[in-house]
Structure 1
């Protein structure tokens, strides 16, 4: 009896081991197939490291068209293909009100009306050439991705679009949000998150494109700066709330101050190079504007209101944090000038405001892992003032 029980136990153990090895082998096959798919799509033989990196750029706002017969549709790492939900939802770009079909002057950076012949050529080209963007992150990251899309598509005279359920739509009315059935597509992955990728000038016009990554550089869209600022149109309720709050303050000049602390103060993020600006930097930046402007009022926003109240109890400082990402960003955008600390969110508050900006030049922390992802000259506009 004991021998029989032992044989049954051994047999059961061997069966479990066989199932485990089969499962591991199956996972291995899936990973290898998708690595190969990634390499085909991006023309980069960087195999596993880049495969895992670009896996993070899968965006749930895109509806994957699983009926695509393209040979490039194999695997789950692929450029976004927006499902044709209904024919009425697919906009005719020629009748769109966005500047994309008017042509963008990449030198001046302003929408312009070209000659009839030139306009017809651009319009015909844009009807068959589309570009979208895929990327990870929250509001500030999404704004960089969308701005880069506008800049790069203008450079190549493509029609830009994002999915109607893109996270940006929670804060902005995006005219480029539409449903497009994009075929003959390919993904373009960036080299580094915060460095301008000059390969963007050399995209083939024989296919449609999905930009994959973060694209955190003003150089992607500086040639259409006003177009980008106008594209970020706050929803009416967010816009009105920001104006109402600012109108309660008697001032002629507002300086928006964004203080980011909470999520960047963790041991893990600090070790990676996310650096938190301290009290001395903020006071130095405030004093800079006090010395340059007549009676400025500082509108301070951020997620740590109690810390701000304890550190900046000045008559000319108003802490107006709304608790809403869109609300705080709108407050900053409606100010005349800006002070920013760390991260892309404050960066965009300053960019939309369009005045003079003081930034925390120790972000990312020099020499850190995160610092190696950035080129400061590509990330910070040259006219911004850096302080520590």
Structure 2
């Protein structure tokens, strides 16, 4: 059973698909933040456009276009200058990490810009299989990730079929400051210990660690496991590398979320991305499950 068929027992996405196709009007998004946020904006924009029988406008200068092999299709328009969005009507979400039914409550009778962050899987659940076909890394990025993985396998004199690859993302950097300011939480040493323990029984696991805080990772990642620290790569190369793994230990943030999505396997997440009295608690749904998939494992 695939990850997305298993979700059906938990919920049905509020966004449904129609065959009606608009030839005049479009859905637009404004890309904000870094790669993880951009992926949410693209995927949610695509899901909303598909639900309306419209096309999402993607610019040739957009980061997602430069990293992924996105092409013109029934629900995507590749645009040189995105002038199609110049007069778009703006519809703003109420919560950045929650599904907002009001933002998708419009007819395909005008061009709309939806935003801002759109960080809920519910916007694109019904087109997830399509997105997996659309979001293929460009060849130079995938080639780099393949070589990195080949080096890991060669080091242990093994093949891809004989091991279980567990991607591990350790988000540090700005999150350390934000946690001190009570804006976001940060995944703890204890969380990673629990997550590594969870995967201990998997067949011949190799833990592949990517991080923007590698010194902390090397000092705090649990010992007595087969661990490879992947240092010095671009974010998109790290993402492609983690995407090629079987399962995922995520930490916090949208980049970590998407690494888990790409693996399409078992995913653990740090259970409390914000504390109850955090400045951003109101941006999430009450149970956080508008952001995290119901079948992902909170630790």
Quick check: TM above 0.5?
yes
Larger radius of gyration: 1
Which protein is richer in helix relative to its size? 1
Aligned-pair distance for 1:133? Answer: 0.5
Q: Take 1:110 and 1:151, find their aligned partners in 2: how far apart are those partners?
A: 9
Give the number of aligned pairs: 269
Aligned equivalent of 1:172:
68
Per-residue deviation, 1:171 = 2.1
**CA RMSD between the two structures:** 2.2
Question: 2: distance between equivalents of 1:173 and 1:269?
Answer: 35
Provide the C-alpha distance between the structure 2 equivalents of 1:261 and 1:168, rounded to a whole number of angstroms.
23
Render the CA deviation track for 1:117-152: whole Å, top value 9, x for unaligned: x97xx4xx3321211101421111000000001100
**Distance in 2 of aligned mates of 1:127 and 1:202:** 19
C-alpha separation in 1, matches of 2:46 and 2:298? 27
Preserved contact between residue 184 and residue 207 of structure 1 (Cα < 8 Å) = no
Q: Deviation string for 1:336-371 (max 9, x for gaps)?
A: 110111100010000011101000012122321111
Q: Which runs of 5+ in 2 are unaligned?
A: 1-11
Partner of 1:236: 139
**Partner of 2:200 in structure 1?**
290
- Choose between structure 1 and 2 for higher RCO, CA contacts under 8 A separated by at least 6 residues: 2
Q: Structure 2 vs 1, CA of residues 150 and 157 (structure 1 numbering), >3 Å: closer, same or farther?
A: same
Aligned equivalent of 1:200, options 94, 103, 106: 103
CA distance in 2: counterparts of 1:247 and 1:283, whole angstroms? 27
Q: 1:372 to 1:110 in 2, by over 3 A?
A: closer
TM-superposed deviation, 1:189: 0.6
8 Å CA contact 2:179–2:186 kept in 1: the answer is: no
Query: What residue number does 2:269 align with?
Result: 359
Greater percentage in strand:
2
State the match for 1:216 in structure 2.
119
1:303 and 2:215 correspond:
no
User: Normalised by the size of structure 1, how large is the TM-score?
Assistant: 0.65
Q: Would you say 1:190 and 2:93 are equivalent positions? A: yes
Q: Is the 8 A contact 1:136 1:214 kept in 2?
A: yes
Task: Tell me the distance in 2 between the aligned counterparts of 1:353 and 1:261.
Answer: 21
- Per the alignment, residue 234 of structure 2 pairs with 324
Residues 110 and 227 in structure 1, CA contact (< 8 A), matched pair in contact too? no
